[in-house]
Amino acid sequence: MQLDQEQRACLRACRMPRQIFTTVALVGLLTWLPVQNAKGQAADILASGLVSELEGAEVVLDAARVPKTFQEAPSLAAMVQAGRLPPVVSRVPAEPLVLAPLKETGRYGGTWRRGFTGPGDSENGNRINASDRLLSWDKSGTSLMPSVAKGWEVSPDGRRTTLFLRQGMRWSDGAEFTADDFVFWFEDIYSNRELGSGPMQEMQSQGKPGRVVKIDKLTVAFEFEDPNFLLVEQIAAQTNLGGQSYRQMEGGTYGGYAPAHYFRQFLPKYSSEQAVTERARAAGYSNWVQYFHFVKDWRLNVNLPTLAPWRTVQPINTPNWVLERNPYYWMVDTAGNQLPYIDRVSMSLAENLEVVNLRAIAGEYDHQARHLQLAKLPVFLENRERGGYKVHVDLATYGSDLALHMNMSYTADPEIGKWLRHVDFRRALSLGIDRDQLNETFWLGLGASGSPVVSEASPESPGPEWRTRWSTHEPDKANQMLDALGLKARDSEGFRLRTDNGQRLVLQAAATQALQPYPQQLEMIAQQWRRIGIALDVREMERSLAYSRLRNNQLQIFPWSNSGSEKLFLVPQYVIPVDAANSAMGPAYASWYASNGQSGERPTDPEILRVLELFRSASSKPEEERNRIAQDIWRTVVDQQWSIGVVGVSPGSFGVRVVSDKLGNVPRRTCIANHCRTPAAAYPQQYFFR
């Protein structure tokens, strides 16, 4: 087969042996290369045969279809027979969530093999267990669905969102789940200043705090002084109210509810300071606060009650993170079988992303999308038969798989902080990036090069022209801009000098081996920035350490995706500084915003202040007006380059899936937006081994 110039370029970029590349061509891969349509999506990928129509299991909303009898996994039936568990009819709620499986009723058993990259890879399990959100989304990510709550109601004035719970629903240890678990969370965890997380924007409207009110045993309300129409979507997404698993680990105190019956024993309010301190010290902790943060972390505490389909039995800080089925899980299929079908989830530790990808290629995982690299798609395709798996490709709509979040609240080095806060410095850095080279090398040309703005298909998009604003490769213009800022002086190697001491101006980026091969991508950018005289020191860092330093305002540049920003008001932290734990473009500003000025640092940039005020106002507005506000925010974010977008709107960080031929009920295409909590939108509870 003769390769044309474009194909040879991709062959070099992919670093594949020619024989592999030739075989891959049989499935039409070469026809997809970087032809872009008006939407900024790789046009021909849709014709490749790897991208299907969205599909998924369906939540049954007709109460008449609730099964009258229930079945359970053989392992649980054996425990019932031995007197260690009550019968399944006593464990499943009277009002279960009924799921119609994608293809067929599954069979029980088996261990789902996955890979994870260490204690910082919490989302690997959080997303599997994401049905512990209060509400959820349908397979398209556009319509709200029941989840933990069987129903909801928003008052006409938007000041009250009421949730209706399931009769007979229980925690994984058999204790009842009721409205008291919400009030306990609000009063004893979220509002407890000793536990330290502080206020969250989801529990505020117009800067005023909301409250949680028990109506009766199975009815709870979130109430606000001002309208909060957004809350009902926030409790269904990757937000601070996004579920126990997601928001009560790593020191977090959010989530919306908590197992009151279990946690009371660890709080001074219910015994004494002395009693809980002694208990903490006996467990190896210096005080009760440290111990409490451990016991509420589902990844570490194997005794923690949960509402998730699987619970930890071997913690994340071991080489094999293991989850087992929750015997009291509240979801059943249409035949009355208690879910999940799969007994165990076993996540084996991989030293880095390369190991994850090699194991996936070898067929060692049953279902894996997290950490799989789009650049290796040809190899995944080549090895399907040998590895016994299928390859599915899903498409995202968020703007950047790689965005350089510029920490504008950085103060540890005043000279660096000064430049990170200067808009023309950030714009010049953006113009110095050759996005097409990165796209070809790491995305096979299937991404859209440009700014971090959301896809033009979104109603929140300000328009296609914002994809390229300050986001083209113009090194000559970048050099002129940097010269005009007073950074003309250079050293013998051509790098620009600091204006305070005459030494080389060196920026630092903390790159983790996570969703993308960020260290390698940043090294390519470092080479590109040499042309504009900017030195970039890429420091590879373990994810937990990187986020610890982020929260302490110690990072200068943090490469990450802005996954989730396809719905800006649900996952804003990768776009604007509103979440001190995640907003790398200004964690001190985010702390100031979230605390209403009680902590952190007030931004001096009027554009940041204006956007934060716009964002704060959005919760009180109906959807159409929120879309207009989002468009305004996006225009400002792109023009100001708070985050420098590189490549996105592609299969992206979760878009390549390797699925064992033995696994059933797996959608050929699923929603990979963060508010869908991928793979939660596919309902992995209904996956099964044939």
pLDDT at 382 over 60: yes
pLDDT at 536 over 80: yes
Residue 171 lies in a domain: yes
Residue 10 lies in a domain: no
Do residue 204 and residue 239 come from a single domain?
yes
User: What's the burial of 242, exposed, middle or buried (CB within 10 Å: 0-12/13-18/19+)?
Assistant: buried
Distance CA 523, CA 559 (A): 12
Q: Among the three residues 290, 308, 326, which one is the final residue of a domain in this structure?
A: 308
Do residue 593 and residue 454 come from a single domain?
yes
Do residue 299 and residue 320 come from a single domain?
no
CATH of the domain at 545: 3.10.105.10
Summarize the confidence of residues 151-163 as an average pLDDT. Answer: 96
Q: Among the three residues 287, 308, 329, which one is the final residue of a domain in this structure?
A: 308
Between CA 230 and CA 233, with CA 231 as vertex, the angle to 5 degrees is: 75
Residue 676 lies in a domain: yes
Do residue 315 and residue 303 come from a single domain?
no
Residue 328 lies in a domain: yes
Q: Peptide bond preceding 679: is omega within 30 degrees of 0, i.e. cis?
A: yes
pLDDT at 14 over 60: no
In Å, what is the CA distance from 396 to each residue of 27, 393, 564, 660? 22, 10, 10, 23
Residue-level pLDDT at 197 = 73
| Residues 432 and 536: beta-carbon distance below 8 Å | no
CATH of the domain at 242: 3.90.76.10
Do residue 182 and residue 57 come from a single domain?
no
User: What's the burial of 623, exposed, middle or buried (CB within 10 Å: 0-12/13-18/19+)?
Assistant: exposed
Do residue 455 and residue 587 come from a single domain?
yes
pLDDT digits (tens, 9 = 90+) for 72-115: 999 999 999 999 999 999 999 999 999 999 999 999 999 999 99
pLDDT at 10 over 80: no
State the amino acid at position 325 in one-letter form: R
Do residue 326 and residue 203 come from a single domain?
no
Q: pLDDT confidence of 200, banded at 50, 70, 90? A: confident
pLDDT digits (tens, 9 = 90+) for 349-377: 998 889 999 999 999 999 999 999 888 99
pLDDT at 466 over 50: yes
Range of the domain at 468: 402-648
Residue 28 lies in a domain: no
Distance CA 279, CA 260 (A): 18
Do residue 536 and residue 639 come from a single domain?
yes
Q: Among the three residues 283, 308, 333, which one is the final residue of a domain in this structure?
A: 308
Residue-level pLDDT at 19 = 28
| Residues 379 and 361: beta-carbon distance below 8 Å | yes
Residue 388 lies in a domain: no
Q: Peptide bond preceding 340: is omega within 30 degrees of 0, i.e. cis?
A: yes
Do residue 491 and residue 628 come from a single domain?
yes
Residue 393 lies in a domain: no
Do residue 519 and residue 623 come from a single domain?
yes
Summarize the confidence of residues 545-562 as an average pLDDT. Answer: 94
**Which residue has better confidence, 554 or 623?**
554
Which residue has 């939540």 as its token pair? 59
Counted domains in the chain: 3
| Residues 617 and 158: beta-carbon distance below 8 Å | no
CATH of the domain at 92: 3.40.190
Do residue 637 and residue 514 come from a single domain?
yes
Do residue 643 and residue 571 come from a single domain?
yes
